[in-house]
Amino acid sequence: MIIVLTGASSGIGRAAALALAEQGHELAIVGRNPFRTHEVARETGGTAFLADFDKLADVRQLARELLATYPRIDALGNNAGGILAHRALSADGVERTWQHNVLAPFVLTTSLMPRLVESRARVVFTGSEANRWGAVDVTNPGRDGKLWLRGMPAYGAAKRADIMLARELARREPAISSFAFHPGAVATGFAGLDRSPLAPLIRRVIRTPERGAATLIGLLDGTLEAPSGTYFVDERRDTGLAAQALDPAECAKLWDALEVQAAALA
């Protein structure tokens, strides 16, 4: 299989890349940090692609490079993203939590769509149980005028949006198998956990990147199967999503709003 994996230079992305390479898959390693991205590409025998999701021009260039390199794409892992303690705008003038976690993966996925459909690809979005406390407001995705609370509500909304995108993609493109999953609390650089003074204690009570990557690996390589649009928690189907994430009209509204936002920033 040819697998494109974003956020592959560290954390669960790196762990998934190493495991998938051991299975013999060909990997496109996508990251922002040049040193780490090329290092993981070397470790996996894959090809490094650099893109900063703070810039949609980078995302569109990444899509062009991937299309020029691979005649087919069997799986796309939309794993890049994160949480920001302080509100900030991207180079495109979009709130960064929304752009990094939602808008940029949407632009990448839709830019690759014809190739993904031809390949009958699997598309996986890294979600989070944080989705339970983050309602999606397509008229105000940056949460202007709302309390930031160290970014948790914005992150929760972004992760709910990722789950909704997986569900809407499943509805719009029957040729594609689309999923979202929660990796669990992982001891990585995400949210600064690896830099915390409590990092040694934290590592005792939360999972390793390898364990957090297990569901991502299974969804990308096809060993973990379910109806397209399914959300997974710990390799199990989860049916406890918020009503908004289960509402087809809300999912379609999100997709349409992202198409408009992406077009305005083209």
- Tell me the H-state helices in the chain: 11-22, 34-44, 56-69, 96-98, 104-111, 113-119, 152-172, 199-205, 209-212, 214-221, 243-246, 248-264
Question: How far apart, in whole angstroms, are the C-alpha atoms of residue 253 and residue 65?
Answer: 30
Ramachandran sector of residue 238 (left: φ over 0; alpha: ψ -120 to 50; beta: rest): beta
Per-position b or e across 239-261, b if 16+ CB within 10 A of its CB: eebbebbeeeebbebbbebbeeb
Amino acid in position 63: A
The phi and psi torsions of 135 (rounded to 5 degrees) equal -70, 140
Indicate which residue of 53, 98, 155, 232 is catalytic: 155
By three-state DSSP, how is residue 7 classified?
Answer: coil
Q: Which two tokens stand for residue 200?
A: 């040694």
The answer to whether 207 and 182 are in contact (CB under 8 A) is no
State the helix-helix crossing angle for 152-172 and 104-111, rounded to 10 degrees.
Answer: 20
At 129 the three-state DSSP class reads helix
The Cα–Cα gap between 205 and 134 comes to 25
Tell whether the torsion through CA atoms of 127, 212, 240 and 121 is positive or negative.
Answer: positive
155 catalytic per annotation? yes
**Residues labelled catalytic:** 155
